Amino acid sequence: MIKVENLTKRYAGQPAIQNLNFEVGQGEIMGFLGPNGAGKTTTMRILASFMPPTSGRATIAGFDVFTQSLQARAHLGYMPENVPLYGDMRVSEYLDYRAALKGVPHRRLAERVGDAKELCGLKEVEKQLIGTLSKGYRQRVGLADALLHEPDLLILDEPTIGLDPNQIRQVRELIKNLGKQHTILLSTHILPEVEMTCSRVIIIHKGRIEACDTPENLLGKIRQAGGVVVEAKVGADNGVGELKKISGVRDVIVDADGDWQIFSLRVESGIDVREEIFRLATARHWTVRELTQRRATLEDVFVELTHPDVV
């Protein structure tokens, strides 16, 4: 559905993205991750025909996004990070207007707008002015807009930004449902959402792709296997210093809860340090009320690949 070959974009001579190469297959939900300024939005804008690349090529459904822009966009629904909506239009009016702009046949306009409102949960606010809607509902209007012309591909740039936890959960379920019928390229900073939603993940850093694989495979490749949490009273001991002496412990971060100290340990892959911690606590007469292993998450992968100096 998407094929990107040696894609490069420079601003005033400075590269925003450099020689990107990746493919997204039909029916995939692909996560697109990276720190701020990594090049995610630039890539998405090029794919949406919003701007041309400096060099390289990108196609959607076999159509070049620059030289065959109209054909490519016919297969694409794009939801930018900040959805540009007309606040003085009512929801139904706005979607009718957008559907007409996208070339939805007049005989199908009511059907398509109705389906988009139903799918995005907008029926109860269809007569409200967009300017009076909450952030969550405005995001839904933007998503409904992207769906009006029944695109094969959805590009969603931070669709859950600014939403509360309940709204994020609702949007996550909506994206999962959309993934049954659409190919989706999803950019977000909420990494647990990606882990639960996406079949594959691209991690981009400083304009270059650092990884492209399934979440499970990425978790298996990183250096640390997660970590260990220890909650203990250590008296006058330097708990951080003692724990760092254990072989396989990469770093220790400590927090306090009254007299208790909570130590978060990052450990080398394949090493279980809990027995050594127990022996240390026994020898130093620490009072321990928690000793648990934490599995690696996509956040660990992200940190490992984009901040390799953080250990």
257-309 per-position pLDDT tens digit: 888 999 999 887 678 899 999 999 999 999 999 999 877 677 777 777 776 55
Give the end-to-end CA distance of the chain in Å, rounded to a whole number: 37
How confident is the model over 54-64, as pLDDT tens digits?
999 999 999 99
Percent of the chain with pLDDT over 90: 58
How far apart (Å, rounded) are the C-alpha atoms in residues 37 and 270? Answer: 33
Report the length, in residues, of the chain. Answer: 311
> Residue 311: is its pLDDT beyond 50?
no
Q: What is the third-level CATH fold of 223-295?
A: Alpha-Beta Plaits (3.30.70)
How far apart (Å, rounded) are the C-alpha atoms in residues 185 and 30? Answer: 5
How far apart (Å, rounded) are the C-alpha atoms in residues 168 and 8? Answer: 32
Domains 2-220 and 223-295 share a fold: no
Q: Per-residue pLDDT averaged across 186-207, rounded? A: 85
pLDDT given at position 222: 59
What confidence category does residue 232 fall into, taking pLDDT thresholds of 50, 70 and 90?
A: very high
Q: Is the dihedral of CA 116, 150, 213, 63 positive or negative?
A: negative
- Top pLDDT among 171 and 199 is at 199
What CATH number belongs to 2-220?
3.40.50.300
Q: Per-residue pLDDT averaged across 199-224, rounded? A: 82
What residue type is 169 in one-letter code? R
- Contact between 152 and 131 under an 8 Å Cβ cutoff? The reply is no
Q: What is the mean pLDDT of the chain?
A: 88
pLDDT given at position 241: 95
Instruction: Give φ, ψ of 26 to 5 degrees.
Output: -60, 130
How far apart (Å, rounded) are the C-alpha atoms in residues 263 and 181? Answer: 45
- Contact between 233 and 260 under an 8 Å Cβ cutoff? The reply is yes
- Top pLDDT among 216 and 69 is at 69
pLDDT given at position 245: 94
What confidence category does residue 136 fall into, taking pLDDT thresholds of 50, 70 and 90?
A: confident
pLDDT given at position 309: 52
DSSP for 86-109 reads -TTSBHHHHHHHHHHHTT--HHHH
Nearest to 201 by CA among 66, 95, 302: 302
Is residue 298 helix, strand or coil? helix
Each domain of the chain, given as residue ranges in start order, spans 2-220, 223-295
pLDDT given at position 46: 94
Is residue 136 helix, strand or coil? helix
pLDDT given at position 303: 73
- Contact between 56 and 7 under an 8 Å Cβ cutoff? The reply is yes
| Tokens encoding 281 | 């606590």
pLDDT given at position 211: 87
pLDDT given at position 16: 93
How far apart (Å, rounded) are the C-alpha atoms in residues 104 and 176? Answer: 25
pLDDT given at position 310: 46
